[in-house]
């Protein structure tokens, strides 16, 4: 008769063997044999097999500025027992480990009530690596804007951008109210479809050639009156970066470090890529930090601006950024049109999710995301190397399955 010890040991051995054989998607095409190499140029970084290596080392081959961590970092303890998350997708019941084997996620971190309840990494990535934000950085730029308003550097979000950036005088973006730049509603005729031949590509090329302020002069026509319609365009965030510098007379990097990064209790150095021509940060993306520090940022936002009882950003400003009720109807979930869907709403450089209560996200192309549920004090950080900007070129439906996973995580603690 098999002893109790042997009966317990066999399933454990089987589990360990399964874990050892588990593979993340597309490991070979993503550069496993070469140790997941980083690119030698920014253009090369967004191609295989350089995605994995580059997305965790972007500041190693691009000019960047550094943000120092807090002297007294906010402690994130690991829960004594990991929460077993399940979700349903395409009629199947799946686990967190299933997800990591099905999608090109580089890291996934779940923090509940200030404790790490789950943490995973793929492709030889680790907790100490700085992961690329892509457009999650837009929300960080917006936090800098509202902080500058709190400190009196910006009088009103109804002021125009050129009020603080004289170089933008008589430009379309310069004459746009800051709040409408933050809501992606400048009205500018601008297409951002990541085709490589869109307005985004032309604007970013000009930024690298002549700087942000001069590149803004390429945007000359409005398709809508400002404030009326959502039209996602990273160029608007680049202008907001200029506004922060013009209003505070400090670099975006320096201001965010003192006013946001250290106050959230960041444990590790972060970096922000800068444009060599004008030394402006790429405010629309290109921020780099560990998953745990992204989680600390999310926890601050979940607590409506508080960290250890001290207000980093005012509650009123956090609500203005993330509460659907604070947005015009055309920018709320269920009403806002984006790529043929009305699923998301949009606040001030922050995506708003549908559901029974306030829930929002910082999102970036190729699968980057920080999901925040203030009512549940829940933060989920997700980094990835999607097949393309949307993450879905491989047919794996990264966005849809990530959403299903999020709903499964939420269901472990409450209702969607």
Q: What's the CA gap between 263 and 256, in Å, rounded?
A: 10
Q: Give the pLDDT score at 376.
A: 97
Report the C-alpha gap between 297 and 69 in whole angstroms: 12
Distance CA 249, CA 153 (A): 9
Tell which residue, 363, 364, 134, 349, has the closest CA to residue 243.
349
Those residues whose C-beta lies under 8 Å from the C-beta of residue 92, and which sit 6 or more positions away, are none
Residue 242, CA distances (Å) to 29, 109, 221, 298 in order: 39, 32, 21, 24
Q: How far, in Å, CA of 272 to CA of 287, rounded?
A: 4
CA proximity to 149, closest of 328, 310, 346, 348: 348
Question: Residue 64 and residue 267: Cα distance in Å, rounded?
Answer: 19
Enclosing H/E stretch for 108? strand 105-112
pLDDT confidence of residue 329: 97
Q: Which residues pair with 109 in a beta bridge?
A: 119, 381
Q: Which residues contact 204 (CB under 8 A, 6 or more apart)?
A: 234
Question: Is residue 94 within 8 Å of residue 302, measured between CB atoms?
Answer: no
CB 380 within 8 A of CB 299: no
End-to-end Cα, the chain, rounded Å: 48
Q: pLDDT value at position 11? A: 43
Distance CA 97, CA 240 (A): 39
How far is it, in rounded angstroms, from Cα 256 to Cα 163? 21
Global pTM? 0.94
How far is residue 55's CA from residue 368's CA, in Å, rounded to a whole number?
Answer: 10
Please, what are the domains in the chain?
24-54 (no CATH), 77-411 (3.40.710.10)
Cis status of the peptide bond prior to 56, with omega within 30 of 0: no
Query: What are the per-10-residue average pLDDT scores of the chain (416 residues)?
Result: 43 42 90 97 94 98 98 97 97 98 98 98 98 98 98 98 98 98 98 93 97 98 97 98 98 98 98 97 98 98 97 98 98 96 97 95 97 98 92 79 98 94
Name the H helices within 276-360.
Answer: 291-302, 315-322
Distance CA 379, CA 412 (A): 13
Q: Where are the beta strands (DSSP E) in 268-394?
A: 270-273, 287-289, 306-307, 310-311, 345-346, 351-352, 360-364, 368-373, 378-384
Question: Between the CA of residue 125 and those of 36, 58, 142, 384, what are the distances in Å?
Answer: 9, 14, 29, 11
28 contacts: CB under 8 Å, gap ≥ 6: none
Tell me, what's the pLDDT at 78? 97
- Residue 352: burial class (beta carbons within 10 Å; 0-12, 13-18, 19+): buried
Residue ranges in 108-249 assigned as alpha helix (H): 137-150, 178-182, 199-210, 212-215, 234-248
**Using CA atoms in the order 382, 384, 386, 392, what is the torsion angle rounded to 10 degrees?**
-20
Element (H, E) at 400: helix 398-411
Q: Are residues 278 and 241 in contact, defined by beta-carbon separation less than 8 angstroms?
A: no
Give the whole-angstrom CA distance, residue 198 versus residue 217.
16
315-328 burial, b at 16+ Cβ within 10 Å, e below that, comes to eebbbbbbbbebbe
Q: 147 Cβ partners below 8 Å, 6+ apart?
A: 255, 259, 260, 313, 317
**Orientation of helix 199-210 relative to helix 234-248, angle to 10°:** 30
pLDDT at 396: 81
């Amino acid at each position: 008769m098999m002893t109790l010890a042997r009966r317990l040991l066999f399933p454990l051995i089987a589990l360990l063997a399964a874990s050892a054989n588990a593979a993340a998607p597309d490991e070979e095409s993503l550069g496993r044999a070469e140790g997941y190499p980083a690119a030698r140029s920014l253009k090369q970084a967004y191609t295989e097999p350089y995605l994995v290596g580059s997305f965790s080392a972007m500041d190693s081959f691009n000019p960047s500025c550094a943000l120092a961590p807090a002297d007294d970092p906010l402690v994130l303890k690991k829960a004594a027992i990991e929460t077993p998350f399940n979700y349903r997708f395409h009629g199947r019941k799946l686990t967190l480990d299933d997800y990591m084997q099905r999608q090109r996620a580089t890291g996934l971190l779940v923090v509940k009530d200030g404790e790490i309840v789950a943490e995973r990494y793929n492709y030889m990535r680790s907790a100490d690596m700085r992961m690329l934000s892509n457009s999650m950085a837009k929300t960080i730029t917006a936090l800098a804007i509202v902080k500058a308003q709190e400190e009196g550097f910006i009088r009103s979000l109804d002021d125009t951008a050129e009020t603080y950036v004289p170089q933008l005088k008589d430009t379309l973006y310069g004459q746009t109210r800051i709040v409408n730049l933050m809501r992606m509603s400048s009205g500018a005729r601008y297409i951002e479809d990541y085709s490589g031949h869109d307005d985004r590509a032309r604007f970013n090329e000009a930024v690298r050639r002549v700087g942000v302020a001069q590149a803004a002069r390429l945007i000359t026509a409005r398709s809508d009156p400002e404030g009326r319609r959502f039209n996602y365009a990273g160029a608007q965030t680049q202008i907001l970066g200029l506004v922060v510098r013009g209003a505070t007379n400090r670099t975006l990097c320096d201001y965010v470090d003192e006013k946001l990064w250290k106050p959230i209790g960041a444990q590790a150095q972060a970096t922000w890529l800068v444009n060599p021509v004008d030394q402006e940060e790429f405010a629309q993306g290109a921020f780099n930090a560990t998953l745990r520090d992204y989680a600390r940022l999310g926890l601050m936002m979940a607590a409506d601006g508080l960290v250890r009882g001290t207000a980093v950003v005012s509650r009123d400003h956090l609500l203005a950024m993330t509460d659907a009720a604070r947005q015009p109807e055309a920018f709320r979930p269920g009403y806002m049109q984006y790529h043929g869907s009305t699923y998301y709403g949009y606040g001030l450089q922050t995506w708003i999710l549908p559901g029974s209560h306030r829930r929002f996200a910082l999102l970036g192309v190729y699968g980057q995301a920080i999901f925040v549920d203030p009512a549940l004090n829940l933060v989920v950080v997700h980094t990835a190397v999607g097949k393309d900007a949307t993450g879905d070129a491989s047919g794996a439906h990264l966005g849809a399955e990530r959403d299903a996973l999020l709903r499964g995580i939420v269901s472990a603690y409450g209702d969607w």
